[in-house]
Amino acid sequence: MPRPFRFGINMFALDDGASWRQKCRRAEDLGYDVLLVPDHLGMPAPFTALIAAAEATERPRVGTFVLNAGFWNPALLAREVASADALTGGRLELGLGTGYVRAEHETAGLPWGSPGQRVDHLQHTVEELDRLLGDAGYAPQPAQKPRPPLLIGGNGPRMLRLTARHAQIAAFTGGRQAPGKAEGVLELLPPDALAASVARYHEYAAGRPEPAELNILVQQVLPTDDRRAAAREVAARDIGLTADQALDSPTLLIGTPAQMAEQLRERRERYGFSYITVLEPFLDAFAPVLEELKGS
């Protein structure tokens, strides 16, 4: 039996406290299950924003999507995680990644490092969080034991191994560095490349006692009665996909609400994606799709 759908909204625009809380309540009313905040300079501070989101709502969980591990010292992060989990009544989900924007590290005066060094730091961070938060004598104590559920996002072999070993949620961004473009500029993975990443993850996760939840970040939600025309338009933006690939990509939703709902059902069957995250600009555009899939 397939895992039930969950829907997250990744929110990154902060004007003031009142509008932030109103937006969180709207997301709750529309049926979103998780209110998420990324970790980029120029966007809201994740834990502060999530605590405010939890206080403004009753049902949704809250989470980081995802923390840039290079910004964080593991001991200080453990304190933030435990405090936020306690203050949100055990509603926190912790998303972690290596980070992919060198300029943010330079602006913050933090080392960037090679890809291998960034994965090393993420692995050390995860292991330290497990050690610290799993200690019954640690203070403050998180509400969830031994720690909040962990989501790790990434596609490379080392990241997939780390995810298989530690994470309750495996997140697939469906993006990669665009060849020949500035560092941090991404293009979308073709469906066959994304399928290969999922297959590799399952190979590494074969010995898990319990299967992880699989997450996909949907980059665009495009309501239309003409899927083919919309796919051609998307492909023309040089995002790494042909029109045919755009129609088949798990990172894009194109069509009527019923068609998009069917796309998500098919992708859950094919890839195992049951936890669907969409970006804030598509908060309302995705709502009719969420309604179509409620309870499934």
Q: Which domains does the chain have, with CATH numbers?
A: 6-293 (3.20.20.30)
Report pLDDT digits (tens) over 33-70: 999 999 999 999 999 999 999 999 999 999 999 999 99
Strand-pair category, 213-218 with 186-188: unpaired
CA neighbor of 171 nearest in space, from 192, 190, 186, 149 = 149
Strand-pair category, 92-97 with 213-218: unpaired
33 alpha-carbon distance from chain centroid: 13
User: Which residues on neighbouring strands pair with residue 175, listed in sequence order?
Assistant: 188
pTM to 2 decimals?
Answer: 0.96
Residue 61 identity: R
Report pLDDT digits (tens) over 86-125: 999 999 999 999 998 999 999 999 999 999 999 999 999 9
- The pair of three-digit structure tokens given for residue 30, joined into one six-digit string: 């529309």
Residue 85 to residue 51: CA distance in whole angstroms: 9
CA neighbor of 290 nearest in space, from 63, 32, 4 = 32
Which phi and psi angles does 11 have, rounded to 5°? Answer: -110, 135
Sign of the C-alpha dihedral, residues 217, 219, 224, 229? negative
3-state secondary structure of 93: strand
- The pair of three-digit structure tokens given for residue 264, joined into one six-digit string: 């998500």
Alpha helices for the chain (secondary structure H): 17-30, 46-56, 74-87, 102-108, 115-133, 157-166, 191-204, 227-235, 243-248, 257-271, 287-293
Report pLDDT digits (tens) over 250-269: 999 999 999 999 999 999 99
pLDDT at position 185: 62
Report pLDDT digits (tens) over 142-159: 999 999 999 998 888 999
73 pLDDT more than 90: yes
pLDDT at position 178: 61
- The pair of three-digit structure tokens given for residue 164, joined into one six-digit string: 């298989």
pLDDT at position 1: 83
CA neighbor of 294 nearest in space, from 269, 265, 256 = 265
Report pLDDT digits (tens) over 186-198: 789 999 999 999 9
Please state the rounded mean pLDDT for residues 196-209.
95
- DSSP code of residue 179: T
Contact 222, 254 (CB under 8 A): yes
- DSSP code of residue 135: -
Residue 222 to residue 273: CA distance in whole angstroms: 19
Contact 221, 283 (CB under 8 A): no
